[in-house]
Amino acid sequence: MTERSAHLRIQRGGPGDAPAHDDFEVPYRNGMSVLDALIWIRANRDSSLAFRYSCTNANTCKECMIRVDDKTVYACTKRLDTTPVSVGPLTNKRLLRDLVTDVVPPREKLSLLLGKPVSEE
């Protein structure tokens, strides 16, 4: 039996860096998600790959939002097949590094800075 692979071209770098990407080949399993592939890459190929997730199942935390083939998706619910895909960060949020963008809502960010909840007034 031959092993099938998924192919991901992933945007790399931080704000102000020249555009760059890395290509990865990942062992393919039926039903695997883009997040499954990113986790495999970080564990087996490049521990410096930056991406964010929390719940790993079906858009509960919404931290895994990225672009796949120029469409905004949840990495944990977007299924892969053996067709090559391009993966990048959200374009409407401030880029931090690789696939990580600043997705904390402004009110929550202020609350973190102040160390206390911000009132709704």
Torsion on CA atoms 18, 25, 28, 41, rounded to nearest 10: -60
In angstroms, what is the minimal distance from the CB of 103 to ligand FES? Answer: 11
In angstroms, what is the minimal distance from the CB of 101 to ligand FES? Answer: 14
Map residues 38-77 to x or -, x wherever contact with ligand FES holds by CB under 6 A: ---------------xxxx--xxxxxx---------x-x-
If you count them, how many residues does the chain have? 121
111 counts as binding ligand FES under rule CB under 6 A: no
Amino acid of residue 75:
A
Cβ-based nearer residue to ligand FES, 24 or 53 = 53
Count the Cβ atoms, other than its own, within 10 Å of residue 12.
18
DSSP class of 69: T
Cβ-based nearer residue to ligand FES, 97 or 118 = 97
d(CA 8, CA 40): 12
Cβ-based nearer residue to ligand FES, 49 or 76 = 76
Contact 49, 38 (CB under 8 A): yes
Q: Which residues bind ligand FES (CB under 6 A)?
A: 53-56, 59-64, 74, 76
